[in-house]
C-alpha cells in the first residue's frame, strides 16, 4: 500500500495546453514532459509519467516517431506535439467508456490459464510485455504479505499490494521503481487496457492481466501475491490505463 499520493489530473488541463510550446528533448523535466509521457502511453507506447525526459523516454519517443512516420531523433518538436495530440484525440474518441462494477476482460483478449499451483500461463497470442509481466508475477506467487514489502528492494521476503504489482510490471520494464497505491491512481489515462488494467485507490491496488487478477490480501485475509480468476467490483477504484498493447 504505502503513502497516499494526491491524484494527478489527466492531461486535459493547463499542463496539457502547455505541451508543445517548447521543444522537448533528453535531459529536460517538467509538467509538459509528464504530459508527453502520458500521451505516449495513451497511444500505445507505455511510458512512466515521472516528468523526467531520460533515456527510457527518449527511446519511447523514437519508437513513437518510427510508428508515426516522423523524423526519428528522440526530440519532440511543436509539429510532433500536434501530431501526438491528434493521435490521443483519436484514441479517446474510439475507446469504449469504462463501466465500473464487476470487471469483465475484453472479449478480444485471450485469457490466461490459472494452474493448480497458483501460477498463470500467458496465452500464446499475448504481446511480449504481457508474457513478461505474467512471468515476473509468477516468481513471487506464494510469498507472504508484508506491509511495505517490495519497496526497499525488488527481491524481498514479502510484498504488499503495490510492491507486488510493481514487481510484476518491472519484469516487463513497464515501471522503473516500486510505486505506492496512491501513485497508481494517476498512472496513465482513464479507461481499461486491452491486456493489462490497473485498479487503484489510496489503500489498495490490483491489476487484471489477460483476464486474471493479481494482487495481495485486501479483505483482512493477509495472503501474499497471487493470481485469481475471481473478479471483484471496481467501485471506488481509479482505473488508469497506461498500457495499450
Cell of 132: 513478461
User: Is 104 inside a domain boundary?
Assistant: no
Q: Which three cell numbers stand for residue 140?
A: 513471487
- Mark whether 204 and 130 lie in a shared domain: yes
210 and 111 Cβ atoms separated by less than 8 Å: yes
pLDDT at 191: 58
Residue 6 has pLDDT above 80, yes or no: no
Most confident of 81-85, 184-188, 198-202: 81-85
- The per-residue pLDDT for 149 is 94
pLDDT recorded at residue 123: 87
Q: What residues pair up with 209 in beta bridges, in sequence order?
A: 196, 212
Domain-terminating residue out of 65, 94, 123 = 94
Most confident of 42-51, 91-100, 140-149, 210-219: 140-149
SS3 content of the chain, % helix, strand, coil (to 5): 30, 15, 55
Model confidence band, residue 186 (pLDDT cutoffs 50, 70, 90): confident
Q: Is the pLDDT reported for residue 202 higher than 50?
A: yes
The residue among 220 and 198 whose pLDDT is bigger is 198
Same-domain pairing of 173 and 211: yes
Q: Would you say residue 51 has pLDDT above 90?
A: no
| Structural domain of 27 | 14-94
166 has a pLDDT exceeding 90: yes
Residue 205 lies in a domain: yes
Burial 4-39 (b: 16+ CB within 10 A, else e): ebeebebbeeebbeebbeeebbeebebbbbbbbbbb
In this prediction, residue 144 carries a pLDDT of 94
Residues 134 and 237 in one domain: yes
Which of the pair, 72 or 186, is modelled with greater confidence? 72
- Percent of the chain beyond pLDDT 70? 79
- For the segment 172-191, the average pLDDT, to the nearest whole number, is 83
Query: Which CATH number is 121's domain given?
Result: 3.90.1720.10
Interval 71-130: pLDDT, tens: 999 999 999 999 998 888 876 555 444 444 444 444 446 789 999 889 999 988 888 889
Residues 72, 20: one domain? yes
Question: What CATH number corresponds to the domain at position 61?
Answer: 1.10.101.10
Q: Is 101 domain-assigned?
A: no
Same domain, 158 and 200: yes
Q: What is the pLDDT of residue 233?
A: 73
Give the confidence band of 218 by pLDDT, cuts at 50, 70, 90.
low
**Cα separation, 191 vs 240, whole angstroms:** 6
Question: Please, which residues have CB within 8 angstroms of residue 15's CB and are 6 or more apart in sequence?
Answer: 9, 31, 32, 34, 35
Model-wide pTM > 0.75: no
The Cα 236–Cα 245 span in angstroms is 26
Per-residue pLDDT, 153: 92
Amino acid at each position: 500500500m504505502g503513502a497516499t499520493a494526491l491524484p494527478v489530473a489527466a492531461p486535459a488541463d493547463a499542463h496539457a495546453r502547455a505541451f508543445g510550446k517548447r521543444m522537448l528533448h533528453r535531459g529536460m523535466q517538467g509538467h509538459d514532459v509528464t504530459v508527453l509521457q502520458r500521451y505516449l502511453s495513451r497511444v500505445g507506447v507505455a511510458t512512466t509519467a515521472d516528468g523526467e525526459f531520460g533515456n527510457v523516454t527518449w527511446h519511447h519517443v523514437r519508437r513513437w516517431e518510427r510508428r508515426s512516420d516522423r523524423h526519428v531523433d528522440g526530440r519532440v518538436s511543436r509539429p510532433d506535439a500536434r501530431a501526438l495530440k491528434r493521435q490521443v484525440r483519436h484514441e479517446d474518441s474510439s475507446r469504449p467508456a469504462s463501466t465500473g462494477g464487476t470487471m469483465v476482460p475484453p472479449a478480444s483478449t485471450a485469457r490466461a490459464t490459472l494452474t493448480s499451483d497458483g501460477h498463470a500461463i500467458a496465452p500464446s497470442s499475448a504481446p511480449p510485455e504481457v508474457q513478461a509481466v505474467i512471468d515476473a508475477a509468477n516468481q513471487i506467487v506464494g510469498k507472504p504479505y508484508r506491509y511495505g514489502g517490495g519497496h526497499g528492494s525488488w527481491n524481498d521476503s514479502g510484498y504488499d499490494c503495490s510492491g507486488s504489482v510493481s514487481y510484476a510490471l518491472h519484469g516487463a520494464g513497464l515501471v522503473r521503481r516500486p510505486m505506492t497505491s496512491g501513485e497508481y491512481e494517476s498512472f496513465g489515462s482513464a479507461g481499461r487496457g486491452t491486456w493489462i488494467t490497473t485498479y487503484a485507490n489510496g489503500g489498495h491496488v490490483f491489476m487484471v492481466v489477460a483476464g486474471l487478477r493479481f494482487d495481495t490480501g485486501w479483505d483482512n485475509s493477509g495472503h501474499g501475491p497471487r493470481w485469481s480468476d475471481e473478479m471483484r467490483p471496481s467501485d471506488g477504484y481509479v482505473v488508469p490505463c497506461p498500457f495499450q498493447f
